[in-house]
Amino acid sequence: MATSRRQFIKISAVGAGSLALAGTAFDLAKGSSLLDKISSSGKKEPVRTPTYCEICFWQCAGWVYKDEDGNIQKIVGNDDDQHCNGRFCPRGTGGVGQYNDEDRLKTPLIRTREGDKESFREASWDEALDYIAGKMRSIAQKHGPECVALFTHGSGGAHFGQMMKAFGSASIAAPSFAQCRGPREVGFLTTFGDIIYSPERIDIRDTRCMVLIGSHLGENMHNGQVQEMSDAIDKGATIITVDPRFSTAAGKSKYWLPIKPATDLALLLSWIHVIIENEWYDKDYVERYTVGFEQLKEHVKPFTPEWAYGITTIDPNVIRETAREMHNASPSVIVNPGRHVTWYGDDTQRLRAVAILTALLGSWGRRGGYYKPEKLHLPSYPVPPFPEPKRSPVQAYEGKYTLANEVVANGLCDATIPTVDRSCNYKAWIVNGTNLLAAFPNQANTLKAIEALELLVVIDTMPVEITGYADVVLPECTYLERYDMLRNSNHRQPNLALRMPAAEPKYNTKPASWMAKELAGKLGLSAWFPWKNIEEMLDWQLKEMGSSLEEMKRIGVKNFPREADDLYFAPGEDVVFNTTSGKIELYSSDMESAGFEPLPVYTAHEEPPEGYYRLNYGRAPMHTFSRTANNPNLTDLMDENVLWVNPKVAKLWGLESGQYVKLKNQDDKVSTFAIKVRVTERIRWDSVYMVHGFGHNNKKLSRAHGRGINDTEMITRVHIDPVMGGTGMRGNFVTFITDFVMEGKEAEA
Contacting positions for another protein (CB under 8 A): 73-77, 86-90, 93-94, 96, 217-219, 221, 223, 226-227, 229-231, 233-234, 246, 248-252, 256, 258, 621-622, 632-634, 636-638, 646, 680-685
State the minimum distance, in angstroms, from the CB of residue 733 to another protein: 20
CB 548: neighbour CB atoms within 10 A? Answer: 15
State the minimum distance, in angstroms, from the CB of residue 736 to another protein: 19
State the minimum distance, in angstroms, from the CB of residue 478 to another protein: 16
Alpha-carbon span 436 to 410, nearest angstrom: 10
Nearer to another protein, 513 or 631 (CB): 631
State the minimum distance, in angstroms, from the CB of residue 230 to another protein: 4
Nearer to another protein, 90 or 468 (CB): 90
Cβ contacts of residue 733 below 8 Å, gap of 6+?
608, 609, 612, 613, 614, 615, 665, 666
Contact indicator for 726, 342 with CB cutoff of 8 Å: yes
Alpha-carbon span 730 to 345, nearest angstrom: 9
State the minimum distance, in angstroms, from the CB of residue 318 to another protein: 11
* 51: helix, strand or coil: strand
For 447-473, b/e burial (b = at least 16 CB within 10 A) is: ebbbeebbbbbbbbbbbbbbbbbbbbb
CB 615: neighbour CB atoms within 10 A? Answer: 25
Closest CA to 719 of 606, 626, 619: 606
- Torsions phi, psi for 676 (to 5 deg): -80, 135
Nearer to another protein, 217 or 498 (CB): 217
State the minimum distance, in angstroms, from the CB of residue 691 to another protein: 13
Nearer to another protein, 218 or 475 (CB): 218
Q: What is the helix (H) or strand (E) element at residue 62, kind and residue range? A: strand 61-66
Nearer to another protein, 257 or 709 (CB): 257
State the minimum distance, in angstroms, from the CB of residue 344 to another protein: 22
Three-state SS for 173-231 is ECHHHHHHHHHHHHHHHHHHCCCCCCCCCECHHHCCEEEEECCCECCECCHHHHHHHHH
Contact indicator for 356, 296 with CB cutoff of 8 Å: yes
State the minimum distance, in angstroms, from the CB of residue 657 to another protein: 12
Nearer to another protein, 415 or 638 (CB): 638
Nearer to another protein, 120 or 246 (CB): 246
Alpha-carbon span 377 to 581, nearest angstrom: 28
Nearer to another protein, 267 or 542 (CB): 267
- Torsions phi, psi for 514 (to 5 deg): -70, -45
State the minimum distance, in angstroms, from the CB of residue 251 to another protein: 4
Closest CA to 371 of 131, 202, 176: 202
State the minimum distance, in angstroms, from the CB of residue 145 to another protein: 44
List beta partners, residue 66: 47, 72
H-only helix segments in 69-203: 90-93, 96-100, 125-143, 156-167, 175-176, 182-192
* 522: helix, strand or coil: helix
Nearer to another protein, 251 or 418 (CB): 251
Nearer to another protein, 637 or 742 (CB): 637
